[in-house]
Structure 1
Amino acid sequence: MPPAPSTAPADPPAPAALSAPAERDDPTAATGRPVRWGVVATGSIAGRVVEDLALLDDAVLTAVSSRSATSAAAFAGRFGAVRGYHDHGGTTGWERLVADPDVEVVYVATPHAQHRAVAGAALAAGKHVLCEKPLTMNAREARELRELARDRGLFLMEAVWTRFLPSFGRVLDVVRSGAIGRVRWLQADLGAPVPFDRASRIWDPAAGGGALLDLAVYPLTWALAALGAPDGITARGVLHEDGVDLHNGLTLSYADGAHAHLTTSIEADCPGTVTLSGTDGWLRTGAPLYNPGELVVRSGRAAPRTERFQPVGHGFAHELREVTRCLQAGLTESPRMPLADTVLVLELLDEARRQMGLRYRSDAP
């Protein structure tokens, strides 16, 4: 099990020979009783996640919701959901879904700015929640949801699917083994040009648009996993005239001298990889870094070796398996994606936005 990113790892042991990638459990195989899911929103990300949900032997898609009756019915029909809810009579589709007694856990796939309201309503209605990243627009809102979940004794997790991929676990195996020595430097980037469209949420500061909130969770995930919580962060960014950040650079610094350079952009095309440089070797992921299909590792003076990973569906099945296992075991937090890590990432993003002069509508005055 990967160590919690919020805890700085101890010095690794002396370098050891790399072993073959560890065998991972089949994420589609049932681990217990059937779990009944409701899905809020019917966009492209929801569609890909639900396609992978259908691979799980113990997952049951019970209900979906959308603003329109047409979208709700089409999505429900496409994926075999029993019910499709939509906005009606002054009540939103998601409000009707979270009131459904047959729904056990709600997957929230709405735009960022709606996460706090939808996830909060689901928890208030007694539902467990898996919410797309970022969990909320800021750390304050994330703490509010965490407290609500704890008060109600309910499961809550941010959907950072990368954390559950076999390739991610393998990287941490390599780091823990000492095969590349102590990690001293990490570089990660993610981005692509996004055509300007004032009607799009990516260009809307009120909706948390821009590169930082949409993309930076992935480079941060890798940095915190490899190096732990930083002792300092420095952020620089370029803002569009409408207020969103076009691109940004974050530097994480550590008391022992290690550092990480992270870049995200909606203006420039980036390689989308991660490089970890250690005292006795290096490791580089393939692209995209949020779902790498291969790793290249050089240990000591040995020639670099490549390890490849076969995808399961779109890659979300591992994350969905974790939620399912936790619910079947009666857990209210994932030990592999604890809420402390989610809050830490949002605290770092809050500080980055402060340094960049980037504000969202949800920010406290």
Structure 2
Amino acid sequence: MAGSGPGGQSPQGGRTLRWGVVATGRIAHKVTRDLARLEDAQLHAVSSRSQGSARAFAEEHGFAASYHDGPSGSGYQQLFADPRVDVVYVATPHAQHFEVVRAALEAGKHVLCEKPFTVNASEARELVQLAGERNLFLMEAVWTRFLPATRRALELIRGGTIGTVRWVQADLGFPAAYDPADRLWDPAAGGGALLDLAVYPLTWAVAALGFPQRLTAQGHLNQDGVDVQNTLTLKYPEGAAAQLTSSLQAAGPGMATISGTAGWIRTGSPLFNPRTLEICGLDGRIEVEDFHEEAEGFIHELRETARCIRAGLQESPLMPWNETLQVMELLDQAREQLGLRYANDLREAGT
């Protein structure tokens, strides 16, 4: 369990935050390992649908309490009713984000929610409105936005190192074995390449070029109505463009290249957690910057969450609500063009 100073104070003098984790899948394990590294965090409670999973997760990571589905309600509802929990990290499948985050906010908890924030923009707007009304912190956990390599790349771009950015190329893909029971392939869970992977290439395009004037989406849906591969083309003023691919069919280099009038920057692979940047000027000379660290990389978004909560902020300036909403709107546009629909959309339409 992460340590705290006397009287519930962290070594830096800020209030120690007591964390709850909702769900016990692979990403929850990874994020929790970094959460345990924070000096101002206490691992208090975890919830899962099954008692065995909740208890095993709590024992492995040193949580004080565990909750699971039962006569007293769902595990996450019991966790949210625990007055000792200050902030929750939500790691459920995509289609459950809206329901779980809404319940957390209604219970008065600050929330860090895995990407994609929700399945559609309507859900995202409702959650942002609720957080605003309850004066609670809420952030989408796009961890790539907080990494040292990403922040360094943005510093170089904004400083004019590669001139005016004219195009971005980014991809992320791997050949995933088809399994209708796996969340990646399950329409009920919000499966598919778009919601699971495309946020990472989009992160680099939006960081370098901002939000586009127009988005065009092409892709392929399988027999279950889940997208297995897609390509997004973003168009900007004066001809600037981005081409982004995400795939559950093929492995790619998993890099982002940002090209400008005075050179280019290329991330190491994978682009969601790059440990290197290549910077090349018009002279063709390539410089490499390294960003190696012991932590998985989630620790940076976790530190930002803690910083914002202690400062009384409702949103992070590094991952503001408006950008989350605009990304969700882009994903809505892409899904409309691909013909990709989920049960959450039916709830939105009231059918």
The verdict on a shared fold, with TM-score over 0.5 as the criterion, is yes
Instruction: Say how many residue pairs are matched.
Output: 338
- TM-score normalised by structure 1 residue count: 0.91
Gaps of 5+ in 2: 1-9
Per-residue deviation, 1:206: 2.1
Say whether residues 1:134 and 2:116 are aligned partners.
Answer: yes
1:32, 1:325 within 8 Å by CA — same for their partners in 2? Answer: no
Which residue of structure 2 lines up, in the alignment, with residue 92 of structure 1?
A: 74
In the TM superposition, structure 1's runs of 4+ consecutive aligned residues that sit over 6 Å from their partners are none
Aligned to 1:322: 304
Aligned partners of 2:161 and 2:263 also within 8 Å: yes
- The equivalent of 1:115 in structure 2 is 97
Equivalent position of 1:295 in the other structure: 277
SS for the counterpart of 2:345 is coil
Q: Please list, as runs of the form range in 1=range in 2, the aligned pairs for 1:35-184 lying within 5 A after superposition.
A: 35-89=17-71, 91-184=73-166
Superposed CA offset, 1:46-88 (max 9, x none): 0111110111111001100111111111111111111000111
In 2: Cα distance, 1:87 partner to 1:324 partner:
28
Counterpart residue number, 1:199 = 181
Distance in 1 (alpha carbons) for counterparts of 2:153 and 2:198: 19
Query: Equivalent of 1:284, from 266, 288, 296?
Result: 266
Distance 1:109 1:146 in 2: 18
Q: Is the 8 A contact 1:277 1:283 kept in 2?
A: yes
User: Identity over the aligned pairs, expressed in percent?
Assistant: 60
The one-letter amino acid of 1:147's match is Q
Residue 77 of structure 2 aligns with an amino acid whose one-letter code is: E
2:235 pairs with 1:235: no
Deviation at 1:90, TM superposition (A): 5.5
Give yes or no for the alignment of 1:347 onto 2:329. Answer: yes
Partner of residue 11, structure 1: none
1:337 aligns with 2:319: yes
Q: Which amino acid aligns with 2:131?
A: A
Q: CA–CA distance in 1 between the matches of 2:13 and 2:237?
A: 42
Q: Is the 8 A contact 2:72 2:78 kept in 1?
A: no
Distance (whole Å) between structure 2 residues aligned to residue 31 and residue 281 of structure 1: 44
8 Å contact kept, 2:186–2:226: yes
Q: 1:363 is paired with a residue of what secondary structure?
A: helix
Partners of 2:324 and 2:187 in 1: CA distance: 21
Q: Give how far 1:148 is off.
A: 0.5
Report the AA paired with residue 222 of structure 1: W
CA distances 1:86-114 after superposition (whole Å, capped 9, x unpaired): 11106110000001000000100000011
Q: Give distance in 2, aligned partners of 1:289 and 1:341.
A: 19
The answer to whether the 8 A contact 1:167-1:295 is kept is: yes
Give the SS at the match of 2:83.
coil
Name the SS for the 2:257 alignment partner. strand
Structure 1: gaps (5+ residues): 1-27
| Distance across 1 between alignment mates of 2:11 and 2:274 | 23
Structure number having the greater helix percentage: 2
1:31/1:170 Cα in 2 relative to 1: closer, same or farther (>3 Å)?
Answer: farther
> With CA pairs under 8 Å and 6+ residues apart, which has the higher RCO, 1 or 2?
1
Measured against aligned partners, the alpha-carbon deviations of 1:156-177 in whole angstroms (never above 9, x if no partner) come to 0000000000000010011011
Aligned counterpart for 1:254 among listed residues 206, 226, 236: 236
Query: What is the SS of the residue equivalent to 1:362?
Result: helix
**Alpha-carbon distance in 1 for matches of 2:141, 2:13:** 20
